[in-house]
Amino acid sequence: MNDQKLISVIVPIYNVERYLEKCVNSILVQTYLNLEIILVDDGSPDNCPQLCDQLAKKDSRIVVVHKKNGGLSSARNAGIDIARGEYIGFVDSDDWCEPDMFENLAKALDESGCSLAVCGVEHNDENGKLLRSDCLDPGSLTIPQEQALSYFFDGKSLPAWACNKLFKKTLWDNARFPLNRQFEDIPVTRRFIMQESAIAVVPKNLYHYMTRTSGISGTSINLNFWLLMQEAEENVRLSRDVYGGRYDRETRSNLAAHCFHFMRKIVISGNRALFDKIPNLLDNLKANRVYIDSALNLKSWDRFFAKILCLGLSPMLVFRFRKFLVSIFQ
Going by pLDDT thresholds of 50, 70 and 90, the confidence category of residue 312 is: very high
Q: pLDDT class for 218, splitting at 50, 70, 90?
A: very low
pTM of the model: 0.93
pLDDT band at 1 (very low <50, low <70, confident <90, very high): low
pLDDT at 323: 87
The predicted-structure confidence for 85-106, as pLDDT tens digits, reads as follows 999 999 999 999 999 999 999 9
Mean pLDDT of 251-273: 93
Instruction: Identify the structural domains of the chain with CATH numbers, from first to last.
Output: 7-210 (3.90.550.10), 223-329 (no CATH)
Mean pLDDT, residues 282-292 taken together: 97
Lowest-confidence segment of 31-40, 72-81, 125-134 by average pLDDT: 125-134
What element of type H or E holds 142?
strand 142-144
Q: Which residues of 316-325 are buried (b: 16+ CB within 10 A; e: fewer)?
A: eebbeebeee
In angstroms, the CA 260 to CA 285 distance is: 7
Q: Which helix (H) or strand (E) holds 190?
A: helix 185-195
> Three-state DSSP class for 239?
helix
pLDDT value, residue 128 = 81
Q: What is the reported pLDDT for 216? A: 42
Element of type H or E holding 67: strand 62-67
- 184-200: per-residue pLDDT in tens? 999 999 999 999 999 99
| The predicted structure's pLDDT at residue 220 | 63
The more confident residue out of 272 and 148 is 148
The alpha carbon dihedral of 78, 81, 82, 86 has a sign of: positive
CA distance 90 to 290: 38
